[in-house]
Structure 1
């Protein structure tokens, strides 16, 4: 029998194993190229690896100091405070030491402590900028030859003495060049939204804007014969970019028209919520399978390629919606059941909501 203050051989082996594992974990964290920082419940620095020491110029005497003494970027503080209440994605910030260097901070709370990991994403940021520039430049260069082609095709198609077997070919060429022109225009719009880190914000009369969206929808709806309702339950407006929001909200309405069988019902609504204001488009269309919903805002993602081409879609509409809403700190929520219908909702935070009297 062992004494109370002594460990049995098995306990000793187990404790030694745990100690060895902890040593290995600490060694691995110290060797990481990414900065790793352990914070206590008061947001003070408790432990860090070598990469964090190099990045933040930490010294032995800095233990116990606030993390905000070392990272003074406002975006980081906002992200940090939001993550302490709800888990959120990491935040990208410019290095406070080198403006040409980009960092991504990810905070993970556990118990009373938090683990902060800082990645160097400079190379990824530069690649993303190159991609945006490439898409914008190519799209811009395609515009002129497309315009010329469309002009000549239109002129030839109008010739009364054109042989019937040629006319069909010119019709197909006209359809495809028009489709390519829509893709180029959407690519240019998406590139412009991505490149513009800030845009001019003004008061938007949402009653007026949604009436305009509704009128455009009715004109587009002539070939479908849907019954479209507009329900405005609040006169609150928004603080934002009217041009971009008009494009995004119209996109959601046009999608509902496209993917609802003829003679369907579509409801456009604008309501006040506890979070801010909510725009929604509800239809009784074909619906979307659950496995596709998370990927709908990806560029060129198509559930059914044949059906998307038949409706004239470019595959960029929801990507544009996503980026416009991101600029307004709004969230897109999608609820859908195959064969029953879909509801696309946009929740605008209270910070962007304005009453007509204070707009």
Structure 2
């Protein structure tokens, strides 16, 4: 019995010593990181930080326990911090010490506390700016020659004495230049949305806007023969950019028309929810396999390349939708069953919803 007690007495300090050594190694590793690491308690106070965080936030030993918002006051960070559903994406903010630097903040649950990691993403930000500028400049340069080509092709195609085999060739060239023109226009729109960090916001009468979108959809629907229903359950409007929202929401409706077999049913709805207001487009079309859903908003991503080209798609529509909704702090939600239809929803937060009575 005494021998058993002695072994236990010896093993417990050894286990504790091993744990302590492991913690020291972990802290040493975190201190050596070039990225800022901060451990926050359940009251949002600073519990521990590494050298990079100390340099970035000018922290001192006396700052232990102070609220993180005393050191990072950006409204984007506060909003992100209070919205755990966004925790996987992080938030980008400008450095408060050097405005030319860009930072990415990511929160990770850590037992009853939180781990905040701050990355310097200035180089990535500049590369992204270069990419956007390149796409915008190339698109502008393509626009003029495309306009000239389309004009001449249209004139040549109207010649009554053109040989049949030439006529078919001109028809194909006309179709492809028109498709290229749509791609250029979508690229320019996407670049403009990305570059404009802020845009002028106004009250939008959603009943009026959705009625307009519905009328355009019915005109586009003539060759498809779908039954399109408009369901408006609230007169609440939005505070936003009407031009961009019209483009994004129309895109969702047109996609439903294009990717639903002829004679299908499509419902466009505007409802009030606990999360704010929800715009939804529901169809009974071909549906989407689960492995594709996460990538649908990527530029030029196509599930079926042949079908997309046949319907005249540019592969940029949902990327435009994603960026427009991001500017309005809205979420794009996609529910789909392969062969059983899809529902694309845009959920707008309460701070962008406006009652018609107080508009």
Quickly name the TM-score band, shorter chain normalised: over 0.9
Which residue of the partner structure matches residue 118 of structure 2?
118
Task: For 1:326 and 1:283, locate their aligned partners in 2 and report how far apart those are by CA, in whole Å.
Answer: 24
Change beyond 3 A, Cα 1:338–1:177? same
- Equivalent runs, 1:105-144 vs 2, <5 Å: 105-144=105-144
Does the aligned pair in 1 maintain the 2:87–2:106 contact within 8 Å?
A: no
- Deviation at 1:350? 1.4
The answer for the alignment partner of 2:218 in structure 1 is: 218
Aligned to 2:234: 234
Secondary structure of 1:109's counterpart equals: strand
For residues 84-123 of structure 1, the aligned pairs below 5 Å read: 87=87, 89-123=89-123
What is the rounded CA distance, in whole Å, between the counterparts of 1:219 and 1:319 in structure 2? Answer: 24
Distance 1:6 1:62 in 2: 43
C-alpha spacing 1:3/1:337, structure 2 compared with 1 (3 Å): closer
Aligned residue for 2:267, secondary structure, equals strand
The equivalent residue for 1:175 is 175
Q: Which residue of 1 aligns with 2:41?
A: 40
Q: Which moved more, 1:44-53 or 1:210-219?
A: 44-53
**Correspondence for 1:59:** 60
Superposed CA deviations along residues 102-151 of structure 1, whole A, max 9, x for unmatched, are 01111223333221111000001001111111111111110000000111
Count of residues in correspondence between the two structures: 358
TM-fit CA distance, 1:232 = 1.2
In 2, Cα distance between the equivalents of 1:227 and 1:341? 14
CA-based RMSD of the aligned residues comes to 1.7
What's the counterpart of residue 30 of structure 1? 31
Report deviation, 1:214: 0.6
Contact 1:2 1:8 (C-alpha < 8 Å) held by counterparts: no
SS in 1 for 2:356: coil
SS of corresponding position for 1:357? helix
Q: Which residue of 1 aligns with 2:266?
A: 266
Q: Contact 1:322 / 1:332 at 8 angstroms: preserved in 2?
A: yes
Taking the TM superposition and a 5 Å limit, the aligned residue runs for 1:245-324 are 245-324=245-324
Q: Once the two structures are superposed, what CA deviation does each residue of 1:19-69 show, in whole Å capped at 9, x if it has no partner? A: 322222111101000001112222221211111111111122222222222
Q: Distance in 1 between matches of 2:322 and 2:217?
A: 20
Separation in 2, partners of 1:66, 1:6 = 45
CA contact (8 A) 1:199 1:241 kept: yes
In structure 1, list runs of 5 or more residues that go unmatched. Answer: none
Query: What is the TM-score of this pair, normalised by structure 1?
Result: 0.95
Decide whether the 8 Å contact of 2:183 with 2:314 is kept in 1: yes
Contact 2:331–2:346 under 8 Å retained in 1: yes
Q: Is the 8 A contact 2:80 2:87 kept in 1?
A: no
Q: Which runs of 5+ in 2 are unaligned?
A: none
Residue 274 of structure 1, CA deviation: 1.8
Tell me the secondary structure at the aligned position of residue 210 of structure 2. Answer: helix
